Amino acid sequence: MNQDSFDEFRSLVYAKSGITLGQGKEALVSSRVGKRMRQLGLGDFRSYLDWVKGKGGEDEMVQLLDAISTNVTSFFREPEHFDFVREKMTDWLGKKQTRFRLWSAASSTGEEPYTLAMTLRECQPGPECDIRILATDISTRVLAAAQEGIYPESKMSTLPGGYAARYFTKRRDKDSVVYAAGENLRNLILYKRLNLAFPPFPMQGPMDMILCRNVMIYFDNPVRERLLAEFHRLLRPGGYLLVGHSESLTGLSVGFKSIRPSIYRKDA
């Protein structure tokens, strides 16, 4: 991929998703786009760019963003966050709260929203509780995998003892063992495609908690500030925003107070 083609892909991806592809990503873009080009029978990057930018290219733009998006996740990734979720859920239940709304803003292949669902279930909310987890991602590919909710045995290693048996059904799939998420998790989660770069979003809130972890590192500050302003709008007063451990809101004009590393509260 020559520099001109890379720059054009960079501009296109930024305009459509807010994702910033820095210098040095040429090989990554070339590899991922090249795979999609082979599927379409296209021989050069110029032809593919013309396809995406031409009439009727909107569907292919979704495929391009699917190819470019990085999706690295696991159950109970950054476990301190789920300790915090458990702590707050226990506190809310003690105060007789019965309506709970949480949002996994970049749900990838589903490990994060399913971890949220397990964490909330472990707090033993009563039948009067109305719990909903919204799970969104820009990638249709990973959303389909999340909705299917079937994981290889190797993915179960990060679950606490007994969780796999309580929340998943173990079965054989050809020559391997897989685990399928149970209805006790599925019935808490709603999956939707959403592009975080273009608020305002259609949901109304108010949310009790938003997890947007290891996503904003791909955005520049203008995109981050727009997104954080929308999170602020959607969170209830006193609601919480959790970001990745490698991320910080320092220097951004946002109405959140840091209460722990990577955990922020919308002031009442």
| Each residue's pLDDT tens digit, 111-125 | 999 999 999 999 999
Would residue 137 show up in a list of annotated catalytic residues for this protein? Answer: yes
If you search the block for the tokens 């009790």, which residue do you land on?
Answer: 208
- What is the number of residues in the chain? 268
Cα separation, 130 vs 133, in Å, equals 10
Cα separation, 48 vs 37, in Å, equals 7
Cα separation, 44 vs 50, in Å, equals 10
Catalytic residue among 66, 77, 121, 137: 137
Give the pLDDT score at 69: 81
| Each residue's pLDDT tens digit, 226-242 | 999 999 999 999 999 99
Q: Band of the pLDDT at 82, cuts 50, 70, 90?
A: very high
Whether the pLDDT of residue 70 is over 80: the answer is no
For the chain, which domains are there?
3-68 (1.10.155.10), 80-266 (3.40.50.150)
Strands 168-173 and 176-181: antiparallel
Q: Which helix (H) or strand (E) covers residue 81, if one does?
A: helix 80-94
Whether the pLDDT of residue 138 is over 70: the answer is yes
Q: Band of the pLDDT at 267, cuts 50, 70, 90?
A: confident
Tokens of residue 145, six digits: 């995998």
Give the pLDDT score at 68: 86
Q: Which helix (H) or strand (E) covers residue 112, if one does?
A: helix 111-122
Angle at CA of residue 10, ends 8 and 16, nearest 5°:
100
> Which whole number is the average pLDDT over 186-201?
96
- State the pTM of this model: 0.89
Crossing angle of the two packed helices 45-53 and 58-68, in degrees rounded to 10: 130
Would residue 32 show up in a list of annotated catalytic residues for this protein? Answer: yes
Q: What percent of the chain has pLDDT over 90?
A: 85
Average pLDDT along the chain: 94
> Which whole number is the average pLDDT over 200-207?
94
If you search the block for the tokens 């796999």, which residue do you land on?
Answer: 164
> Which whole number is the average pLDDT over 149-178?
95
174: left (phi over 0), alpha (psi -120 to 50) or beta: left
Q: Band of the pLDDT at 174, cuts 50, 70, 90?
A: confident
* Contacts made by residues 50-56, CB under 8 angstroms, sequence distance 24+: 52/12, 53/12
Cα separation, 61 vs 39, in Å, equals 15
> Which whole number is the average pLDDT over 78-103?
98
Whether the pLDDT of residue 253 is over 70: the answer is no
Would you call 177 helix, strand, or coil by DSSP? strand
Whether the pLDDT of residue 46 is over 90: the answer is yes
> Which whole number is the average pLDDT over 146-153?
96
Whether the pLDDT of residue 268 is over 80: the answer is no
Crossing angle of the two packed helices 26-40 and 3-17, in degrees rounded to 10: 80
Q: How distant, in Å, are the alpha carbons of 116, 242, 268 from that of 213?
A: 13, 7, 23
